[in-house]
Amino acid sequence: MTPLAISPPSSTPEPDMSSIPQDAATIPHSATAQVLTVCIYINKQANTGPNLDRKKIQQLPDHFGPDRPSVVLQQAVQGCIDSAFQQKTVFTLLTQGYGGEKISATFDGKQHLLSLPVVNSIDYVLRFLKKLCRSLHCENLFSDQPISQRSAPGPVEHSREGRFFGRQVCDPLGKKSLLLI
C-alpha cells in the first residue's frame, strides 16, 4: 500500500478582498440571502372594540415592517398591548411561545414578559393577528396593503377575503411588494 501524497501548500497567496466594498453589485446573486419580509398596515379608522383605545391606536405608526415575520408580529402584538385600556386584557389572551420575539405588559404593579412563538411565514403572522383581533372584538385593524387614512370616523369597509389579512411579500430591500393570493 502506498502512502497518500500530500501536496505542498500553494506558493501563490490568495488576493486580499477585505478592501473591496461588498454591496449588491459585487456579491453574486446566488450568494445573497433571500430574506422574507412582511408589511402589516394599521387601519386607524377600524372599529377598535371595547378593549383598545382609539386615541392610542392613532399614535401607532402607519405600518409595521418591512421586516422579518417574527419582528412584525412582535411589533403588532406589542402595539395592541400598548393601545389597550387594560394591558392585562390583551396579555392574558396570549400563550407562552418558545424562541420568538418578546413582548411585555405592565399590570398588577409588575412588568410581565412573554415570548411569542417562532414565526417563519406570512400566513402565520396573519392568522395570529386575525385571531387576536377576533378575541379583542376589533375589526379590520390590520391589513396587508396600505390603507388610506380618512379623516372621517368609522371603520373602512372591505371584504374579509379581499384586502384585510391577505399576504404581502416585500423584496429583500423593502422597495417592492408583491401581493400573493
Share of the chain above pLDDT 90, in %: 56
Residues 174 and 164: their CA atoms lie apart, in Å, by 20
Are the CB atoms for 124 and 142 separated by under 8 Å?
A: no
Are the CB atoms for 35 and 62 separated by under 8 Å?
A: no
| Residue with the larger pLDDT of the pair 137 and 32 | 137
DSSP 47: B
- Cell 419582528 belongs to which residue? 71
What's the pLDDT score for residue 34? 73
Residues 97 and 159: their CA atoms lie apart, in Å, by 31
What is the overall mean pLDDT for the chain? 76
What's the pLDDT score for residue 7? 43
What CATH number has the domain spanning 38-143?
3.90.1150.190
Answer yes or no: is pLDDT of 172 > 60: no
User: So where are the chain's domains?
Assistant: 38-143
pLDDT tens digits for 7-30?
A: 444 444 544 544 444 443 444 454
